[in-house]
Structure 1
Amino acid sequence: MPKREGTERANNSRTLCSSRQVRFLNKISCLSISKMLAFILLSLLCIDVSAGPAQMRVSSYSGEYGGSAGNPFDQSRNQLDGPITALRIRADDRYIISIQVCYGDSWSGTEGSATGNPFNVQLFPGEGFVQVLGRFGSHVEYLAFRTNLGRIFAFGPSSGSGTTFDAEPLFPNTVLRFISGRSGSLVDAIGFHWDKEPSPAHTTNPAKIT
């Protein structure tokens, strides 16, 4: 009998130890899972915070203003040469005849006709266009560009029967980065693409008008 009782006590002791071990392991498992979940949540929050500003949208588009004649043009690739540093525009007493944009130190092609004397605009370092007023019918009739330094450059007749527009970026601290539209013998339509200006803002020697 004593031997049997000793055996039972030993078995009970092993069972108790086994139960304590199971509970201990369960606690460790729960703690490990909790720590793992907390680590994953913290990682996701860090990723979200770090990616947030980079993914914030700052680009916007205004237009297209004008008619459906002419061939489409898009100067989105030109912006890779740098920010807009100068304009060259031809206009008469009825329409905008042509527009040419300088990106960094590189001029775009002429949209419209290259006949007549151009009006040349050169921007200061750090200066950019932040608003464009205009008027159009079947062609673009009038354009007035305002810069972030308050300068205004107007082209074409200031009054007429066409439809007026006021183009501005949707987001603060953004400027005109490139234009698109349609052109033939005149500037038939135009659109304005706004975004943050690259750094450095401008070349130290803005493009010369030639």
Structure 2
Amino acid sequence: VLAAGSSSYSGEYGGSSGEHFDQSRNQLDGPITALRIQANNKYILSIQVRYGGLWSRIEGNPSGSQSVMPLFPGEGIVQVLGRFGSFVEYIAFRTNLGRVFDYGAGSGLGVPFDAEPLFPNTVLRYISGRSGPLVSAVGFHWDKEEGIGGWDQSTGSPHTKNNSP
């Protein structure tokens, strides 16, 4: 259930190739509990999200080095940084517990992005975007999630190193 005045959207970051995907229905399976990212030294090859205990469809190409990012109970994603050109080159997820998970090319010429929710105490609920042989583009949908605390707007942006007042 989405709370009034708490949902926001960041994106879409990336190119226009590939087929559109939208995981809005997946959020009905529960909060995001893990991500599975496959990347090489140039691009994000694929992304898969676990909602509750169920994995979403793999978006992109499931080859390459795979990394699983499990979240702790009560942990949510509060910021996503990245870089893109025609495809997503780099992506980093920051949680409300301060953990950061990054994937893809550490340097490049792509356009940087910084996605974060508009409202305090909200977290990443689901993703959308475009995919084909690679992840072409990605967007982030934020809202409240019962039992998961987001960042507190009174202490500044989620990318502030120390969120204490």
- In the superposition, the TM-score normalised over structure 1's length comes to 0.68
- Residue 80 of structure 1: SS of its match in structure 2? helix
Q: Tell me which stretches of 4 or more aligned residues in structure 1 moved more than 2 Å.
A: 198-201
Aligned-partner SS, 1:73: strand
Name which structure has the greater RCO, CA cutoff 8 Å, separation 6+.
Answer: 2
CA distance in structure 1 between the partners assigned to 2:17 and 2:147 by the alignment: 37
Equivalent-residue separation in structure 1 for 2:106 and 2:62 (angstroms): 22
Who is 1:91 aligned against?
A: 39
Please say if 1:105 is aligned against 2:53. yes
**Are residues 1:71 and 2:10 paired?**
no
Give how far 1:155 is off: 0.2
How many angstroms does 1:200 deviate by?
A: 7.9
Give a deviation string over 1:132-181, Cα, whole Å, max 9, x none: 00000000000000000000000001210000000000000000000000
Tell me if structure 1 keeps the 8 A contact 2:33–2:52: yes
Are 1:145 and 1:154, in contact at CA under 8 Å, matched by a contact in 2? yes
Partner of 1:173: 121
* CA contact 1:82–1:198 (8 Å) conserved in 2: no
User: Are residues 1:162 and 2:116 paired?
Assistant: no
Q: Partner of 2:162 in structure 1? A: none
Unaligned runs of 5+ in 2: 150-165
Identity of aligned residues (%): 69
Greater mean deviation of Cα atoms: 175-184 or 156-165 = 156-165
Flag the 1:140–1:175 CA change in 2: closer, same or farther, 3 A: same
Contact 1:66 1:138 in 2 (8 A): yes
How far apart in 1 are the matches of 2:63 and 2:98? 30
Amino acid at match of 2:98: G
- Structure 1 unmatched runs, 5+: 1-53, 202-210
1:150 pairs with 2:112: no
How many residues matched? 148
Q: Give 3-state SS (helix, strand or coil) of 1:85's partner.
A: strand
SS in 1 for 2:139: strand
- Separation of aligned partners in 2, 1:164 and 1:200: 28
Distance 2:107 2:62 in 1: 24
> Is contact 1:131–1:147 with CA below 8 Å preserved after alignment?
yes
Q: Distance in 1 between matches of 2:59 and 2:35?
A: 12
Provide the C-alpha distance between the structure 2 equivalents of 1:83 and 1:115, rounded to a whole number of angstroms. Answer: 26
CA-atom RMSD, angstroms?
1.5
SS in 2 for 1:100: strand
Q: CA shift at 1:198, angstroms? A: 3.0
The code of the aligned residue for 1:96 comes to: I
Deviation of 1:76 after TM superposition, in Å, equals 0.1
Amino acid at match of 2:73: P
Q: What is the TM-score of this pair, normalised by structure 2?
A: 0.86
Give the structure with the larger helix fraction.
1
Secondary structure of the residue aligned to 1:77 is helix
Aligned mates of 1:159, 1:129 — CA distance in 2: 23
2:14 maps to 1:61: no
